[in-house]
Amino acid sequence: MKILVTGTAGFIGSHVALRLLARGDEVVGFDSLNDYYDVTLKQARLARFADHPGYTHVTADLADRAAVEAVFAEHRPQRVVHLAAQAGVRYAAQNPHVYVASNVTGFLHVLEGCRHHGVEHLVFASTSSVYGADTAMPFSEHQGTDHPLTLYAATKKANEAMAHSYAHLYGIPSTGLRFFTVYGPWGRPDMALFLFTKAILDGQPIRVFNHGRHKRSFTYVDDIVEGVIRTLDTVPGVDPAWRGDAPDPASSGVAPYRIYNIGNEHPVELLRYIEVLEQCLGRKATMEMLPLQAGDVPDTEADVSGLVAAVGYRPVVDVEEGVANFVRWYRDYYGA
């Protein structure tokens, strides 16, 4: 099967591409290799599979309509995994136009490519951030998402609505996955685990927001990849059980569209996360306790029962194993 994967130089995208290639799929990778963070890390991710005979890479920007149209026209992918986006919840406050160009305009170009080239299934990345100010735990797809707290979350909520409209109007089978705090080897340098590891090894204090009173559904990247690929292989149709008088946001009934949480069902306290990291590094952290940041939420907890029922997804890597794997990778990659 030929699959277009956007964001193949990114954290999750590189892992997904590698797994698809390993099982024998052809992968067309699309990534702009922008300088939001260390480009050499992105290049190193690509180097793991760039020479694979089943891999073709395209360096271009999703906001470039002609470039996206050309990829679909030339390569004719059967399915699409859309993971590329301008990442970073807080960065949006400084560069809002970049988020809309990449996450909204870029996604429109992907949808148009799927529409005009008969794509069998589009799987796209959303985020747990769409739950915004909601405090009901665990987060379920049946909850409303009308109050996003950041522009990043707003762009992802827009993606969900756009995908549903295209599924309804043009019959494009589409599935959105709301990721919950993904971590692991080859992760992003702007994420907490990466920042904490570097600071502890450098003998610098770590910045702990909300005075450490966070709880997160930390989800190991291999568990995410497993869920993404199982979802890709399960093409949604119209749900015959849906009733017009009882709309279900996870199953529209009038369109081949689904939305699911994908994350770890067992949230971990941030201070426990840091404790595990200290044990793996063999060093204690000096913590600078700070208040909750604007746009951040104290807790996340994933209800993944929908994805369990649909594709048999069940995360298996606990935080102790996952953090240890990250630390081993970090020491090897940076010689730390």
- Positions marked catalytic: 152
Q: Strands 219-220, 174-179: parallel, antiparallel or unpaired by DSSP?
A: unpaired
Residue 1, burial from CB neighbour count under 10 angstroms (0-12, 13-18, 19+): middle
What Å distances lie between residue 262 and 17, 72, 74, 219, 254, CA to CA? 18, 28, 32, 9, 23
CA distance linking residue 72 with residue 81, whole number of Å: 13
- Hey, what amino acid is at 167? A
Q: Strands 174-179, 215-216: parallel, antiparallel or unpaired by DSSP?
A: unpaired
Q: Strands 206-208, 268-269: parallel, antiparallel or unpaired by DSSP?
A: unpaired
DSSP state at residue 291: P
Lookup result for tokens 């707003």: 154
CA distance linking residue 13 with residue 188, whole number of Å: 12
In degrees to the nearest 10, what's the CA dihedral of 240, 246, 251, 255? 70
CA distance linking residue 70 with residue 94, whole number of Å: 31
The verdict on whether omega for the bond into residue 138 sits within 30 degrees of 0, i.e. cis, is yes
